[in-house]
Amino acid sequence: MTAISRNAKFVRENVILHNSFFENSIPLIASENLISPLQREMLNSDFNGRYAEGWPGHRYYQGNEYVDRVELRGIELAKKLFRCNFADLRPISGTVANMAVLFALTSPGETITAPALSDGAHISTARFGAVGFRGLNTVTYPFDSERMTLDIDGTARVLREVRPKVALFGMSLFLFPVPLRELADVFNEVGCTVWYDGAHVLGLIAGGQFQDPLREGAHVISASTHKTFPGPNHGIVLANPKDEEMEKALMRGVFPGVTSNHHLHEMAALCIALDEMSRFGRSYARQIVRNSRALAESLYDRGFGVLAADYGFTASHAVALNVAALGGGSACAELLESANIVVNKNLLPGDKSSQNPSGLRLGTQEVTHLGMKTGDMEEIASFFERLLVKKEDPARVRKDVISFKRGFRKLKYCYGEGYPAYRFERFLR
């Protein structure tokens, strides 16, 4: 066997160190998750590196008989799980799925409405993101910062004034459902296409624990598939199209619009994830929401500035903290990381600087995937208090975090339950 180079060893050793770090950490990034061993098998298959441009049965490459079978089955699974008429598994990320919808439903120079970035929207819907690259004008909705959701009357007014071709809803800091039902009459009055970015809450939607956008007024859902939906780092478009032309436009938007080859190994892993969520999704999503509320309550009881306290804190996987009085989001996130607690700084309503925001965003979907329950959220909250309030030595807290995490290193809610979540397959000795 040929000896590997110093560069290859360096890369491999750092990946192993990364695995070890997360094995010994409390992962609370709201946009991350773990995948099952069966999904890992798909990622390591010969699907990796093959090409299958186009739609199943209408490819531009040969050798896709089995790829087509897998993708068609995945489309069936997605349509059944989300009760929709159209599903496209080809976007390679959530942002690419957003770009595909923009490509399909809008033209340069047109106007769309969307949440503001400082109110929790995703960067792809900002003018310096995918919306700007499409050459669109964006008008943002008023936001109720107390309730951490859109101002319904103000949003209705904006929709009537702007009369956008597309009204986009969905958040990156997603605490509560979007008021689609409350705005349904306005959508019909304006005649806009309603687009829902469900990247963060796709698993909660699949598990019936959040809202059901396609039954509440949305025509299209775009999403990534690796947040509350515990699949590979990929994307998806789901829809109940208004007509056949809209369906064709969505397909063209994905390919050839913004995608060439669609990473077949990830597509196969996504098919497994769709099946797993049909089996385990309801109980998994229910526990995520329970854990989020328990974490929020435990932090609030310890004096933290948990947002939307008067409205139940959260109805999703996410919890938002205002830590301006504790040094700000950047400083607090770095301090927590020094004790092996992984969160991210986050803009809160009114913030001006994304590099020094006042907030932290927490998510419970990954710790839930590892089997944590509501009682464990109190222990996590105590680590926050020890670090950020009592100013304990991070090394001392880190030791306790590592000890706590030893009981949560195996996967739940998937095929292969009990499999080590951080196992690194070593092929070279």
- 256 preceded by a cis bond (ω within 30 of 0): yes
Placement of tokens 């909660």 in the chain: 204
Q: Which of 247, 288, 260 is nearest to 96 (CA)?
A: 260
Is 380 known to sit in a ligand binding site? no
Measure the CA–CA gap between 359 and 314, rounded to whole angstroms.
15
DSSP state letter for 283: H
Q: Which of 34, 32, 63 is nearest to 49 (CA)?
A: 63
CB crowding 392-428: b at 16 or more within 10 Å, else e: eebeebbebbeebbeebbbbbbbeeeebebbeeeeee
Task: Tell me the residue type at 95.
Answer: T
Is 244 known to sit in a ligand binding site? yes
Placement of tokens 């989020």 in the chain: 292
Is 121 known to sit in a ligand binding site? yes
H helical segments located in 64-119: 65-82, 94-105
**Known binding residues:** 117, 121-123, 244
**Known binding residues for (6S)-5,6,7,8-tetrahydrofolate:** 117, 121-123, 244
